[in-house]
């Protein structure tokens, strides 16, 4: 058994052609600690509903484009280079307000579960 797994999702143009403009990595990489999605939302895209999570916080990393991430009743303007963490209990939705695709990565992980990170989780070999 290998100590790694690879998966190619293609280009962001390829991602935009998928259902809902998403590629989920959980199954593709057999992830055990997080769900990660690669997203490419076209001009005018708007999720028509709010959603929450039972236990996972979400981290949005915006790569390109302009959008509004609504968290509870607050609208947060986002663009390439923006990052936002949303706690599980918060209602959220996203929309593309720009002229180009809104490209972002969304990471879901169980709130409060990380025990080590950065250099604390490094062991020199």
What Cα–Cα distance (Å) separates residue 113 from each residue in 25, 56, 86, 96? Answer: 20, 10, 15, 31
pLDDT of 63-97, one tens digit each? 999 999 999 999 999 999 999 999 999 999 999 99
List the end-to-end C-alpha distance of the chain, in Å, as a whole number: 20
CA distance 83 to 105: 10
Write down the pLDDT at residue 1. 65
- The pTM of this model reads 0.93
Residue 122 in this model has a pLDDT that exceeds 80:
yes
Q: Could you read off the pLDDT of 5-31 as tens digits, one per residue?
A: 999 999 999 999 998 899 999 999 999
């Amino acid at each position: 058994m290998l100590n790694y797994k690879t998966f190619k999702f293609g280009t962001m143009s390829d991602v935009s052609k998928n259902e809902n403009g998403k590629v989920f990595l959980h199954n593709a990489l057999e992830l055990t600690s997080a769900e990660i999605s690669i997203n490419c939302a076209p001009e005018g895209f708007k999720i028509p509903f709010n959603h929450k999570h039972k236990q996972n916080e979400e981290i949005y990393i915006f790569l390109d484009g302009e959008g509004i991430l609504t968290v509870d009743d607050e609208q947060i303007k986002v663009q390439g280079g923006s990052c936002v963490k949303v706690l599980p209990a918060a209602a959220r939705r996203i929309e593309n307000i720009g002229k180009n695709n809104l490209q972002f990565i969304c990471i879901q992980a169980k709130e409060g579960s990380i025990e080590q990170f950065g250099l604390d989780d490094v062991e020199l070999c």
